Amino acid sequence: MYTKSIRGSLLLLLGAVIWGAAFAAQRMGMEHMPPFTFTGVRMLLAGIVILPLSLLMNRKGEASRRTPEGRTAQRKAGMLCGLLLFAATSLQQAGLVYTSAGKAGFVTALYVVLVPVAGLIFLKKKTGGMIWAGVGLAVIALYLLCVPADGFRIETGDGLVLGCAVCFTGQILCVDYYAPKTDPLKLARDEFLITGGLSMIIAVCTEEIRLDAIRAAAIPILYTGILSGAVGYTLQIMGQREVNPTIASLIMCLESVFAVLTGVVLLGEQMTGREAVGCVLMFAAVILAQLSTAMTNKKIQKGKTHETADCV
């Protein structure tokens, strides 16, 4: 059990590294094309990349997932997760028109608090004291990483970005619920195709789509579509099959840390002392959560050992 938890955590950590680097790629891509066009193209690319793999794995999948009930569950999971991901990305894009990128990143990442609360209410998943301490550290870390030193001011777009955080919370819990019951590649594929398709519909209606702009943004599109999209979200689904959703949200918040680090390495940005403290606190939050999981698993294993001894 603990080995699976470590494996799931490592998959989520790799996803966070990929997503963190994607911030620089998104920034470069958005210099050439409007937001819904960029989101639509990269998400559809992610879906197309995963499509042949999902068809191949379908032949090797569990028989229970090829039944009418299994196919219905798969479609329902893809639809719900896809709609939530589309809503989250759309609200974030709309909010960025009215608020700063740093503050949007902080408010979006508040799903780290919303996930354990919603998980307790809707999925009856309890969260231990050490993990709550990790959540508290993560919020402080995110504030230091994302909010400017001159403070936090409420602006017009903040409500939209808070809605984005709520939708990401729903997406994380939806993945947590459906990932063990569905094929991860198919679930990721459906998420991308739904998000990309709906984004392109809005782009056609509200934006100018130009092929020369798509060609100019080819490298950012390829990175965010194939790595951040196809690989990153598939890692999320696979990782969440074996990790508590609260701990998963903490690990995924490390993308803010890796976004700062890749900004320093790739874009030549300077890391402030405030950001460095935020990075340290975020890593401490994740380590605290992992220690809590290790202690819980040891207690469970100890209890099983005692039960076996009693039986003997």
Q: For 196-238, how does the pLDDT look when each residue is reduced to its tens digit (9 = 90+)? A: 999 999 999 999 999 999 999 999 999 999 999 999 999 999 9
pLDDT(44) > 70: yes
Q: Which two tokens stand for residue 100?
A: 């700063």
For the ranges 55-69, 155-169, 205-219, the one whose mean pLDDT is highest: 205-219
Q: For 87-127, how does the pLDDT look when each residue is reduced to its tens digit (9 = 90+)? A: 998 888 778 777 766 677 778 888 888 898 888 888 777 77
- Residue 151 φ then ψ, to 5°: 110, 180
Q: Into how many domains does the chain fold?
A: 1
Domain that holds residue 15: 2-311
pLDDT(152) > 70: no
Q: For 233-258, how does the pLDDT look when each residue is reduced to its tens digit (9 = 90+)? A: 999 999 998 888 888 998 998 888 88
CA distance 104 to 117: 21
